[in-house]
Amino acid sequence: MNFADEIVQWYLINKRDLPWRNTTDAYTIWLSEVILQQTRVEQGMPYFYRFLEKYPDVSSFAAAHEDEILKLWQGLGYYSRGRNMLKTARLVQETYSGRFPDSYNELIKLKGIGEYTAAAISSFAANEAKAVVDGNVYRVLARYFGIYEPINSTQGKKTFQKLADDFLNKKMPGLHNQAMMEFGAMLCKPKNPACNVCPVRPGCEAFKTGAVATLPVKLKTVKIRERFFNYFLITDGDTVLMNKRGENDIWANMFDLPMIETGSILPLEELLKQPEVLSVFGKKIDAAEVSPVHKHILTHQRLFVRLIQIHNQPEIKTDKNWVKIDVQNLPGLALPKIIFILLKNIFNL
C-alpha cells in the first residue's frame, strides 16, 4: 500500500464523526468549510449548527440581512468571511437559481472561496479530482517526504500543490482529502505528533532523520517595528553628554545621546510634558529642535530620530550610563551611523 492508501485506511478507522461529513450538499459543505477557515473544529461547530438551523439553504441565506449574518458570526473572527458569504449566497441565488455550484471552476470564482475551499467543496460534494492543501496537508507532506521548502513561499506553495495533486486518489478524491486533513489534525499534529502509532512511520523521511519537529519550514514574516527616538544634546563648555547603551537593544554597548523613546512623533511641546522628560530635565527647559526627523532603516526596525538641544539646564538628574565627553574625542567613540550624522552636523566633525 502506498502512503496515501495507508492514510485512508487509518482515516476509516480513526475519523471523528463530524456533521458536515455526512452530506454531499454543496451548500452545507460550503457553510462548514468557510466557518472552518482559520478556525478550530471545536470552535466552529456551534456556529455551523446555528447557521444551518437559521439558513437551511442558500435561498434563506441570500435573503438575510448583513447585520443578522454578522450577529450570528459574532465571536468567530475574520468577519469578512461572513460578509463574503452573503455576497456569494446572493450571487448563487441570482445566477444559479439557488443551486449551489459544486465544480472547482465555478466555485473558485465566488467571493470567499479560494483554492483550498474550492477543492474541498468540489471533491466532497461531487468527487471532483482536486487535491486540498491546507495547513494539515502541508505538514503531512513536508514531513513524510522531507521537504524543506517553505510552505508560505510562492515556489513552496506550487511544490506542495503539485505533490498533493500527484498523490491524490483519483478514484475517491473526497475520501482522500478528508483523510489527509484528519490525519494531519489528529495524528501528525504540529506539536507532539503521535509517531509511535503512525501507520506510515517506516516511510516517513522526517522521522528517519529526526526532523519531525523542524518540518514544515515556514518563512517567518519579519515585522518591522517603528520607534521614535528623541535625543537630547546637552553641552557644557567643550563637552557633550553621551550615553553608553546597554546589552539588550540595538547598538549594544555603543554610545548615543541621552534619549526618550516615545510611541509616536510628538510635537516638541508635547514631548517636554512627558513624565519621563519631566523627571529627568524638570519643567523649565529651554529646548529647541536642532535637526529634522531623520528616518533610519534597520533590518527589523524603522527609526525616527531627532535631536533636541537643551540650552540652560543647571540641574539634570543624570543617569549612571551618562558620561561627559570632550567634543574632540567624539570621533574616537563607537557611534551608530545616525548618531554620528547628528553630531557631525552640529560639531562639524
Partner DNA sequence: ATCCCGGTCT
Partner DNA sequence: AGACCGGGAT
Please identify, among the stretches 7-15, 202-210, 220-228, 278-286, the one whose residues bind DNA according to the rule CB under 7 A. Answer: 220-228
- Give the residue ranges of DSSP H helices in the chain: 3-14, 26-36, 41-54, 58-62, 66-73, 80-95, 104-107, 115-126, 135-145, 154-167, 173-186, 205-209, 268-273, 275-281, 337-347
State yes or no: residue 139 binds DNA (CB under 7 A): yes
* Nearest C-alpha neighbor of 137 from the set 151, 124, 149, 148: 151
Q: Which of 61, 100, 116, 144 binds DNA (CB under 7 A)?
A: 116
Residues 46-75 that bind DNA (CB under 7 A): 75
Please identify, among the stretches 55-63, 79-87, 228-236, 263-271, the one whose residues bind DNA according to the rule CB under 7 A. Answer: 79-87
Active site residue 33: yes
State yes or no: residue 112 binds DNA (CB under 7 A): yes
Half-sphere exposure of 209 (CA within 13 A, CB side): 13
Amino acid letter for position 333: L
State yes or no: residue 269 binds DNA (CB under 7 A): no
CA distances, 158 to each of 35, 103, 152, 154, 338 (Å): 25, 21, 10, 7, 42
CB nearer DNA, residue 101 or residue 336: 101
The residue annotated as part of the active site, out of 6, 33, 128, 182, is 33
* Nearest C-alpha neighbor of 86 from the set 61, 109, 105: 61
Please identify, among the stretches 19-27, 114-122, 297-305, 339-347, the one whose residues bind DNA according to the rule CB under 7 A. Answer: 114-122
Binding mask 185-204 for DNA (x = CB under 7 A): -----xx-------------
Q: Which of 5, 57, 68, 115 binds DNA (CB under 7 A)?
A: 115
State yes or no: residue 300 binds DNA (CB under 7 A): no
Q: How far is the CB of 151 from DNA (least distance, A)?
A: 8
* Nearest C-alpha neighbor of 260 from the set 273, 243, 277: 277
SS3 255: strand
State yes or no: residue 43 binds DNA (CB under 7 A): yes
Q: Please give the DSSP secondary-structure letter assigned to residue 211.
A: -
192 burial via Cβ count (<10 Å: 0-12, 13-18, 19+): exposed
Which residue ranges make up the site for DNA (CB under 7 A)? 37-40, 42-43, 75-80, 84, 110-118, 134-136, 138-139, 153-154, 190-191, 218-221, 223-224
**Which active-site residues does the annotation give?**
33
